[in-house]
Amino acid sequence: MNGNGDACKVASAQIEVQNVTRVYRIPGQAPVFALKDCSLTVEPGKLTVLVGPSGCGKTTLASILAGYDTPDSGRAIINGQPIKGPGPDRMMVFQETALWPWMTVMKNTIFGPTMSGRLARSEAEKRAIGLLNKVGLQECKGTYPARLSGGMQRRAELCRALVNDPAVMILDEAFRGLDVMTRELMQEYLVKLYEDTGMTMLFITTEIEEALFLADRILVMTNLPGSVKKCVEVDLPRPRDFHVLASQRYLEIKAEVMEALYEEGAKTFGKLNMLDFPGACAPAATQG
Ligand SMILES: Nc1ncnc2c1ncn2[C@@H]1O[C@H](COP(=O)(O)OP(=O)(O)OP(=O)(O)O)[C@@H](O)[C@H]1O
Ligand SMILES: [Mg+2]
């Protein structure tokens, strides 16, 4: 465990972010430094969780790693090669559902690799069936997304990403907006998928408990402009289930992450000028 981004480096990185800065410039407004000198590494075969306050630059970073956006300075690297655009080696799952409503679950799942010619239809279907079974959607192959619950849609999206057999999965607040019970179920599905496949994952969240339950390693981000403030190894046993939530070690790691995160949260609230809120400093009403 340590307190700076540089020391979060690992020898065999699958993803490496080197001093990335991304500034949003809107004419007539002050530039927004979403990321500044942000460095981190994601180890192969590990589940790394990036946790940070809302608005600290997490999605900006995810977009750069996806190849949808480019840094103003610094570099993002996958398997030793600079990221120059989207690629099948990285699959993204975002908060908003991205299933095509006019396609069944099966068609949604196999569309990408069959259209690009990476997989023959029969091979794609075979893989899709295996994945859909794994996440409990075996009965939904012919169902359209509108007939699925929120949790089922997220599971279908996971399959749609995994069918490409990506080197890395990047999930940006993929379970945000789900009710608590569905979210916990989705976390269990994801942990099981990860433990079965051993694939490299970067999961982005604002939720400490979610981070702890999933992660091998948690990277805590600073407030805006975003960079990595602290790196915490999560040495909780695997295979992981809800029993870890009651362990002493879980509570110790949680306290460490909370301290770092709340320090950043406090800075955000410190920046808010309470005088801007109407009535915030109004004199107390006198009685009688
Ligand atoms: N396209 C854009 N143009 C201008 N500013 C932007 C743009 N996208 C993001 N920002 C700003 O950059 C900062 C970081 O945004 P980003 O979406 O990366 O944060 P985040 O950590 O993902 O937040 P959340 O947890 O709420 O999803 C915010 O201040 C946001 O307003
Ligand atoms: Mg975001």
Q: What is the pTM of this model?
A: 0.86
d(CA 250, CA 210): 12
Residue 61 lies in a domain: yes
Average pLDDT of the segment spanning 114-128: 94
Residue 140 lies in a domain: no
Angstrom distances, CA of residue 178 to CA of 94, 230, 266: 13, 28, 26
Among protein residues, the one whose CA lies closest to atom 7 of ligand 1: 24
Average pLDDT of the segment spanning 88-116: 90
What percentage of residues in the chain have a pLDDT greater than 90? 62
Residue 105 lies in a domain: no
Residue 242 lies in a domain: yes
Residue 44 lies in a domain: yes
- What's the confidence (pLDDT) of residue 29? 93
Residue 190 lies in a domain: no
CA of 227 to the centre of ligand 1 (A): 14
- What's the confidence (pLDDT) of residue 257? 95
The rounded radius of gyration (Å) of the Cα atoms in the chain is: 21
258: left (phi over 0), alpha (psi -120 to 50) or beta: alpha
pLDDT tens sequence across 201-214 = 999 999 999 999 99
What's the total number of domains in the chain? 1
Among protein residues, the one whose CA lies closest to atom 13 of ligand 1: 34
- What's the confidence (pLDDT) of residue 178? 84
The range of the structural domain enclosing residue 30 comes to 1-89+200-270
d(CA 184, CA 189): 9
124 has a pLDDT exceeding 60 = yes
pLDDT tens sequence across 274-285 = 455 555 444 544
Angstrom distances, CA of residue 172 to CA of 32, 65, 97, 116, 257: 21, 11, 12, 24, 19
Q: What residues does ligand 1 touch, defined as CB less than 6 Å away?
A: 24, 26, 32, 34, 52, 54-60, 206, 224
